[in-house]
Structure 1
Amino acid sequence: MSSIPLIVALVLTAVVVVGYTLVLIGMRQEDRCMSLRTAAPTRSAVLARRVTGCHVRG
């Protein structure tokens, strides 16, 4: 009897658990960023956005 299938199953299980955990952490961080109150843009941020086309946080 070979132990290779058991080792493969354990490795795949570990990969799935780690991936699931990373997805949950990423979702929580994204939710936290979306729930933060956004401040009114400053004049310098508005000017920088017009010049570069990028959003700049003050």
Structure 2
Amino acid sequence: MTAIPLIIALVLSIAVSAGYVLVLVGMRQEDRRMRLADVPPSRAAGLARRVTGCHVRG
């Protein structure tokens, strides 16, 4: 019996773990960018205008 299957399994598990961590970090950065409560009203309105294409006058 050789150790090759164990080495392959170890490498794959490390790759999957690293990918999982990268996805979590990316999601947290996206969440931080999407919070509009921390953004000044003018920037929030600019973002809404770009997303929806609507101009709101208040």
- TM over 0.5, shorter chain: yes
Aligned residues: 41
1:40 aligns with 42
Using the alignment, how far apart are the partners of 1:37 and 1:10 within structure 2?
44
Using the alignment, how far apart are the partners of 1:7 and 1:13 within structure 2?
10
Q: Higher relative CO (CA 8 A, sep ≥ 6), structure 1 or 2?
A: 1
Equivalent runs, 1:1-58 vs 2, <5 Å: 1-35=1-35, 36-40=38-42
How large is the Cα RMSD of the aligned pairs? 1.4
**Matching residue's letter, 1:40:** S
Percent pairwise identity: 56
Unaligned runs of 5+ in 2: 44-58
Unaligned runs of 5+ in 1: 42-58
